[in-house]
Structure 1
């Protein structure tokens, strides 16, 4: 393989990953609290002077932390956050997951959970337990405190701030986890809880579709370039063999 093929190969490998990422974003365009994933790439140079060659290198990905649209639901247990905050949830493996997914329900035991059955945690990391006969007569304040109609406090939802939240690792269904070695979240300030709303995905479907088409075309061009380079090399070897 020549340098042309190596450069094209580095590009096609990255484009294939970007294609998968873009398709994943599109598939979650209607997932509550989902944050679009963006690839992080870097040009790496080898050699010096006129012999310098630039390759494309995959440096991972990061989350687009822009807020999604808020949609009213009429469910008093649904919440959406305005500001730099995250909800925490108890995962099935015993670890803690983080999300902006605020479509919540109360189970038969009075535990506040997501529609997928993951328990919501308070600021101390414990489950949020409400009276099993509470019905829908609850008020959730802008600070996340849950009260009944008379103002009696029933519980509190933990609203956390995560340092370098763009580096969170996706788990699916709009849920994320901290990367290894990350700082522990702290209680968030200046974050408003909106009762009766859910935050939608921040994926812009039209933009992702345009990106998908561009990636496909770039991938085809890279494959074409490698094929042409291979044919030129093959022709050169055949001609040299006749000498």
Structure 2
């Protein structure tokens, strides 16, 4: 295959990846605490002939997370928690790892643990699940993360952790993130701003993502059109050469 034929194929492959990322952002536009993904492209130099100047073809190199905060919405549910400013809540994952996220939409399970809808326990500042005594009633959560019963007795302190290089962390479902191997471990945030009865929305802008989706689709169609035109020109050239022979 000549170099020209590679160009639309490389463009289509990169645009397909961009389409997948943008579609996923749109699908999670209403997911509490979701952070949009973005792609980084780089030039891939290719030449079938070492004597010729290589052609630069864009390729998606990696994805990263848009760490901008989403807007806060008041729910009135005392088991919904959000964060003002920096920090992440911590949750125990089934595989033993710890996932971190900005939204805590909690329920109380049969053992009194505060967990997400899928059963992931939220962790205190020491890394242990937060357990409410059966007689404590609905908790009162202070701005510093302290959890008290209706009489004011201290039960626990919800952990809020730093997020060094969050943009490069691995995604783990439920709008959670896990530090990659070799990354700095999160530390306890000294002055968190926990907001009870509220949730942080996704930071996806649906209009922006829809415009991006349309642009990607059009660019994909153009790349496919270039590929088809190249094939037709090649077939025409081969046909004429065959007639002369």
Which category of TM-score, normalised to the shorter sequence, fits these structures?
over 0.9
CA distance in 2, matches of 1:239, 1:3: 22
CA distance in 1, matches of 2:191, 2:173: 28
- Equivalent residues of 2:145, 2:192 under 8 A apart: no
- Equivalent residues of 2:80, 2:197 under 8 A apart: yes
How do residues 89-238 of structure 1 correspond to structure 2 at under 5 angstroms?
89-136=91-138, 138-238=139-239
CA distance in 2, matches of 1:190, 1:165: 19
CA distance in 2, matches of 1:69, 1:226: 43
TM-score, structure 1 normalization: 0.92
Q: 1:44 Cα shift?
A: 3.2
Q: 1:115 Cα shift?
A: 2.2
How many residues of Structure 1 are paired with residues of Structure 2 in the alignment?
242
Q: 1:108 Cα shift?
A: 2.4
- Equivalent residues of 1:78, 1:103 under 8 A apart: yes
CA distance in 2, matches of 1:226, 1:122: 56
CA distance in 2, matches of 1:180, 1:51: 39
**Structure 1 vs Structure 2 CA RMSD:** 1.9
SS in 2 for 1:186: coil
SS in 1 for 2:104: coil
Q: 1:135 Cα shift?
A: 1.6
SS in 2 for 1:146: strand
Give ranges in structure 2 of 5+ residues lacking alignment.
Answer: none
Q: Which runs of 4+ in 1 moved over 4 A?
A: 46-50
CA distance in 1, matches of 2:179, 2:10: 29
How has the CA–CA distance of structure 1 residues 11 and 146 changed in structure 2, closer, same or farther, with 3 Å as cutoff? same
CA distance in 2, matches of 1:74, 1:43: 50
Of the structure 1 ranges 36-45 and 222-231, higher mean CA displacement relative to structure 2 is found in 36-45
SS in 1 for 2:31: coil
Aligned to 2:65: 63
Q: 1:222 Cα shift?
A: 0.4
SS in 1 for 2:241: helix
TM-score, structure 2 normalization: 0.92
CA distance in 2, matches of 1:239, 1:170: 54
- Equivalent residues of 1:89, 1:98 under 8 A apart: yes
Give ranges in structure 1 of 5+ residues lacking alignment.
Answer: none
Q: 1:50 Cα shift?
A: 8.3
- Equivalent residues of 1:108, 1:132 under 8 A apart: no
